[in-house]
Structure 1
Amino acid sequence: MSALPGQPDNRTDGPRRSYQVRPDELEGAVRETLSRQVALARPQGVDPAGQAIRRANRIRRRRTAAGLAIGAVATVLLSAGMAQLGAETGREGSPIVVIGDPDLSGRPIPTASASGTDPSPGPSAALLGAETLVSPDGRRLVLPDVGSAESAQLLPGGGGWLVVSTRTTAGRSLRVVQNDGLVQVLLAGAGSIVLAPDSRQVAWRDGSDLLVAGVVGGQLIGAARTVAPAGAVPVRFVGDSVLVRPDPADAGHTLWRPGAGPLTEAVDQETLNFYGGLPDGRLVGQISTDPGRTCLAVLDPTRHLRPVETGCGPELSQDGVGGISADGRWLLVNGRVGKTSRALLVDLRRLGSNPTAVSAGPPITGSIVWADESHASYLDAAGALVQVDIARVRAGKPASPAAVSGVPAGDRPVLVAGL
């Protein structure tokens, strides 16, 4: 198509545009365009980096909360000398202390069962064995993976059990057995282990020292230790103090208040055994008087265990087995009626007037559990359950043992409260 007359053709006439661009000009233009795009902040529908940072912060906060507690425990234990590093510890049979979470990959399948149902043992149960707990009314609970137990107590809140093993060549151990079947070792290789009545504290012997720690969340915290004479053993908790027998072969006890100073020498030289406490805080024990003769006594821990009341009459055994009712009136204790070993019932309200004892049943083995002020239970030497009714015993009808159903022959259950 030709151009109109008198008008120039833009395809052939007029100024021509130059398409020759130097490399440096092109590079500058690209740089300027990219810099403008970077400088311009544009909102994004999704911020992956921000989400990742927020998620990491949440995880860090959760781990920090748990880590601070474990870190505090580790710091306390290290400062108290409980955490020992290296192959040379300088002691034999040092306790193993769990200060962190257990390996949950090895968590056993829950197999604890009530009476009438036997557990299905797993591999570790075949190695360690199980332990049967028995309540005062005869119900039973089988705990796998704990081995042979000496005593057991319910954890605060009922979340499981604190189980003290029987003594072996390696010493005693303390385990936490949770309701879901998880077993944690708190102590191993300890000489003697004593639990507070509320299961919130534990005292034990480690080498040449006595130690006390709190039990919180399946861990030991706030440990305190003191050097103790060879052979000294913790006996029981008395408030915030620990009753200690410096030499089990001799009479005498002392009180150690953790954190308030070292263990002192025996503050009394007469006490042989303690059976429990009265509601007012005083203790009931067995004291040595004339050679070969022992008496009952009420002792005041605030006055260096000084006897404030004594009563002689019942022929008591020196095995230290005994228990007091919650109201402080009745004492079940091992002794003799004539030449026969029996469990004796003593009225502590008549302690000062030469009290008499009546036969309550066969000799006691292990702990005594009081259901109320008038009923108590214990196990005899064969592991049979003895249920004592105070009214019947006072009427001349001692209790008789009854076998616990479901316990394998040869196994000895452990009597517990709160099952």
Structure 2
Amino acid sequence: MVVVLATAAAMQLGGERPPTGSTVVIGEPDSESTVTWAPSSPPTGPGTGAPLADVDLVLGGTIATAQGRRVPLVDTGGIERAHRLADDRGWLVIGPPSLAGRFLWAVAPDGTARVLLGGADEIVLDEGGQQVAWKQGTALAAAKVVNKELVATVRAEAPAEAVPLRFVGGAVLVRLAPDRPGHVLWRLQPGPLDPGTDRASNRIFGALPDGRLVAEITEGSPEKSCLTVLNPAGLTPAGRECGPQLSGDGPGSVSPDGRWLLVNGRSGRQEGAVLVDLRRLDPSVDPVPVGLAATGDVVWSRPGTAYYADAAGRLIRMDVDRVTAGRPAEPLVIAGLPDGIRPVVVSGG
């Protein structure tokens, strides 16, 4: 009740309308392709049209599905991340940070939404949309998502500056502090969070099929950063391979087959999004330039294709064969999309 009242008060002070729904629980291109976007049909039912991509997209107050449907979103605020549930059961969507914290909504196939979680500092979902983890103050928590309800919640105490980043093999990857290296895998055990021994990893981008983690670490004397692979136990280097220096920041994602990493970094003198061959982690092998730097989530629709929004707000489709052949990733110009609306690529599906 304290969290609910505090959330409502913060919204009033910030001039924000509380989301409606159920009870808050807590927390340079050589070509361009043009696709046409149109506003959704009236809220009585989703519209149809040509698909914009082979992933779902959030375009303002509408979800444009990979099947060509236009689903108007009802009773949600702004959306920063979204995940499509299996079997056409709708979506889980996460709002941006605000005075009232972040919100997690469950969105039905017709676009109606209800709040599952509110007032959180950060919220993350697993790859199947079956688990959620969140942080509020010093409370780190996780729960299962069953029939669009949160059940079996487990809680731990964590440093105030720690933040959950993603699920990895049933555990939650937690960055210990935003301004210094170091991560730990929280294996959903109650009690104080064990900070572990890793104080070298700057960024961790995801897991390989065998469970090892792809990470950027800082080590040596003098210190240098490089891309490497970590064992999930203790987050220690899995070998002596130290790949290229990325010299970037922001998001990144490992392909489903574990072959590629799409991440912000540097290739030669070019800065922006780059593609790294994870089978050739060698500092002498430059990453392949892709295009402008990615903002928001990088989402792979299949092992050879990924989508992201670039720094100019365009939707980018990155095809591995195209990029490795020396051609930049393909911007998709969404005709008719209002100014200021940045596409959000939906994971899952």
Q: TM-score normalised by the shorter chain: which range applies? A: 0.7 to 0.9
Instruction: Check conservation: 2:300, 2:307, Cα contact below 8 A.
Output: yes
Q: Note the C-alpha offset of 1:85.
A: 9.2
Backbone CA RMSD of aligned residues = 3.2
Q: Deviations over 1:200-241 (max 9, x none)?
A: 111111222101011111211111111110111111112221
Call closer, same or farther: CA 1:235–1:377 in 2, change over 3 Å: same
Q: Among 131, 135, 145, which residue is 1:215 paired with?
A: 145
For the residues of structure 2 that align with 1:375 and 1:276, how far apart are their CA atoms?
A: 17
Aligned match of 2:227: 296
Instruction: Check conservation: 1:282, 1:300, Cα contact below 8 A.
Output: yes
Aligned match of 2:246: 315
More strand by share: 2
Q: Note the C-alpha offset of 1:369.
A: 2.0
Query: Scaled by the length of structure 1, what TM-score is found?
Result: 0.67
SS in structure 1 of the partner of residue 279 of structure 2: helix
**Alignment size in residue pairs:** 315
Call closer, same or farther: CA 1:317–1:186 in 2, change over 3 Å: same
Q: Does 1:367 align with 2:307?
A: no
Taking every aligned residue pair, what percent have the same amino acid on both sides? 43
Q: Note the C-alpha offset of 1:399.
A: 1.3
Aligned match of 1:272: 202
Aligned match of 1:386: 316
For the residues of structure 2 that align with 1:385 and 1:86, how far apart are their CA atoms?
A: 36
For the residues of structure 2 that align with 1:181 and 1:394, how far apart are their CA atoms?
A: 39
Instruction: Check conservation: 2:75, 2:112, Cα contact below 8 A.
Output: no
For the residues of structure 2 that align with 1:132 and 1:197, how far apart are their CA atoms?
A: 22
Give the number of the structure with larger relative contact order, counting CA–CA contacts within 8 Å between residues 6 or more apart: 2
Q: Note the C-alpha offset of 1:148.
A: 1.3
More helix by share: 1
For the residues of structure 2 that align with 1:220 and 1:283, how far apart are their CA atoms?
A: 28
Q: Deviations over 1:22-41 (max 9, x none)?
A: xxxxxxxxxxxxxxxxxxxx
For the residues of structure 1 that align with 2:274 and 2:3, how far apart are their CA atoms?
A: 50
Q: Note the C-alpha offset of 1:158.
A: 2.1
Q: Does 1:336 align with 2:289?
A: no
Call closer, same or farther: CA 1:402–1:156 in 2, change over 3 Å: closer
Q: Does 1:325 align with 2:279?
A: no
Aligned match of 1:415: 345
Q: Note the C-alpha offset of 1:260.
A: 5.6
Q: Note the C-alpha offset of 1:340.
A: 3.8
Name structure 2 gaps, 5 residues minimum: 12-17, 25-41, 52-58
Call closer, same or farther: CA 1:253–1:110 in 2, change over 3 Å: farther
Call closer, same or farther: CA 1:418–1:88 in 2, change over 3 Å: closer
Q: Note the C-alpha offset of 1:196.
A: 0.7
Call closer, same or farther: CA 1:137–1:379 in 2, change over 3 Å: farther
Call closer, same or farther: CA 1:154–1:111 in 2, change over 3 Å: same
* Residue identity opposite 1:201 in structure 2: Q
Aligned match of 2:124: 194
Give runs of aligned pairs for residues 112-151 of structure 1, distance below 5 A: 112-115=46-49, 130-133=60-63, 141-151=71-81
Structure index of larger Rg: 1
For the residues of structure 2 that align with 1:280 and 1:296, how far apart are their CA atoms?
A: 18
Name structure 1 gaps, 5 residues minimum: 1-82, 101-107, 118-128
Q: Note the C-alpha offset of 1:313.
A: 2.5
